[in-house]
Amino acid sequence: MKEYRQLTSAEIEILTANGCLAQDWMQIRVSEGFDVHRCYRVIFYGEARLGSSQGTIEVSDGFVKNCGIYNATLRNVTIGDGCLIENIGNFINNVNIGNRCYISNVSTIDTRKEATYGQGRLIAVLNEAGNGNLILFSDLNSQLAALMVKHGDNKRLMNTLNNLVEKHITSLKPNCSTIGDGVRIVNAREITNSVLGDGCSVWGASRIYDCTIASSCENPISIGTGVICEHSIVSGGSKIKGSVKMTDCLVGEACELTNGFTAASSVFFANSYMANGEACAAFCGPFSVSHHKSSLLIGGMFSFYNAGSATNFSNHAYKMGPMHYGTLERGSKTASGAYLLMPANIGAFSVLFGKLMYHPDTRDLPFSYLIAYGDTMYLVPGRNFATVGLYRDIRKWPQRDKRKSGERKSCVNFDWLSPFTINEILRGKKILERLRAASGDRVSTYNYHEYVIKAPMLRKGIEYYDLALRIYMGAVLKRHSPVKPDSTDGEGNWIDLAGLLMPESAEQRIIDDIIDGKLASVGDILDRFRAIHNNYNELRWVWSYRMIMDYYGIDALTDEAVERIRTDYVEARRKWIAYIRQDAEKEYSLGDVSEEVFNDFIDKLDHEIDFENQRLYM
């Protein structure tokens, strides 16, 4: 515990000569190393605890200044060692400041009675007009957030979660605004009721009000010019800059919001990137991306998503209010100008084109194109499975994970072929086969709900889905001994819980254990998610073993069966690579790709031989 002493009479005289004033000099305490000659034109109100002002601090590359306090009004503050605080236009009030901080040309840093620091804020996600269904706090990860949103109508679950989160927040809540070690705040206007963690940098922000900026020296956060951030939480490694305006939001790890992006009542997790556009009541899971000024993400749940320019989601029927919402499962994309009428549910790795009406639900037809031509809606099943875009996406996501390995709160599984997507593919293949059986092979089109499927596309979709199944089974078998698992954990339907691939039964056990008190803290719940994530390979094998048995109509994985599966895998993989090559050649023939880029891509395909060291599948 640092020791403080009162000022001596000689020190008070020097401070007074330096233009300093105090409401009561007896309430000013200083520690060893405090230098009165480094304190000029400072007005003290209430109490102050001042650390050492020895040493220097680098304020720009090669530009070093002496530590100290200059031109400031302070009330009820604690200031650590080695800080430089200068040119405070208004005041710093009720604030704890750490060591080695640089605070310059700031108007106000304040703590008021109503401070929550953004913790415990209840917001309405998806249903913009609904009751609050998501509690913001700094340790919230994408899985716990998704659990709250999915099961917001479960009153027993939500009441228990509310109590656990309240206890968690109470244990962490500071007694005033806090600025951690190594923080830099320059040219900012207002910081009120906020916590800025270690290593945080704030350059030119307009307003940070009632926020927790959960920075650390290992995972620093930067807040840039013109930013207005209210009632929000920002996680480690993130960047908020370029006049972003956000209210009632949570920004997860290693995210970036920039270039005038605006957001309200939305959450962004793990490596999401948002620029220029707008989000409202949006749940943006890991790797959600929107680059364009005219794009609006509203009332939707996304992950591994890429929004094209002028993407828009309609959540308002102009009758009962903006209450509609939907889900775009992992890996989905919207083309430029895409419009989706909510409620809607789009299958994994699908691509949307045009103005899509009739509330589509394609969760049983993943990897599809949905295309609007006037009033006609076309569906091209499985088409995205064999595209250059998909091939590039599944390779880039693991490489673009900027989170520190030891500080990854949200569980993110990069598998694109998994029990979750393969189960959808199995259902989709059956749907297409039933459509063909019902209408025969001599028709030109098939109808699936309000969507038209052209006959050649239906046949191709069945082929794509079968290739995916064979690739998945062979890839799984390469990683497991062909022995029947001795557990049933992993059987049944699987879900994607905002990046975590898991059996639906495991989610239900979490809900039951929260209600029953077996998961008695927020930490317990997060640990359970991590345990499921770490056990993914074993759970996947349990599900995959049964799926392999059913697909091949066998009772055991004999040597003959294993060899057949491996042969099918190699053939399917070769066809898949050939289709991707054709897609690349088609794009090159349009003249939009340089020969160098094309040849580089083809060279990578030609060397796509051994998947053992690739993260394409498992």
| pLDDT for res 130 | 82
37-56 pLDDT tens trace:
999 999 999 999 999 999 99
SS3 annotation, 234-282: ECCCCEECCCCEEECCEECCCCEEECCCEEECCEECCCCEEECCEEECC
Q: Give, rounded to a whole angstrom, the gap between the first and last alpha carbons of the chain.
A: 50
Q: Across the chain, what does the average pLDDT equal? A: 94
| pLDDT for res 319 | 65
E-state strands within 294-363:
296-298, 300-302, 306-307, 312-314, 326-328, 333-334, 339-341, 345-346, 351-353, 355-356
Whether 110 contacts 191, CB under 8 Å = yes
Counting residues of the chain whose pLDDT is more than 70, the rounded percentage is 97
Q: Determine the average pLDDT of the residues in 190-216.
A: 98
Q: Determine the average pLDDT of the residues in 396-409.
A: 88
| pLDDT for res 182 | 98
Architecture of domain 1-110: 3 Solenoid (2.160)
Counting residues of the chain whose pLDDT is more than 90, the rounded percentage is 87
CB atoms < 10 A from the CB of 170, how many?
A: 10
Q: Determine the average pLDDT of the residues in 79-92.
A: 98
| pLDDT for res 603 | 83
Record the pTM. Answer: 0.94
Tokens 């029927």 locate to 317
| pLDDT for res 611 | 46
Task: Please give the backbone phi and psi of residue 461, each rounded to the nearest 5 degrees, phi first.
Answer: -60, -40
Hey, where are the domains in the chain?
1-110, 113-258, 412-445+452-606
Q: What is the pLDDT confidence band of residue 614, given thresholds at 50, 70 and 90?
A: very low
| pLDDT for res 321 | 64
The structure tokens listed for 21 are 């004033």
528-587 pLDDT tens trace:
999 999 999 999 999 999 999 999 999 999 999 999 999 999 999 999 999 999 999 988
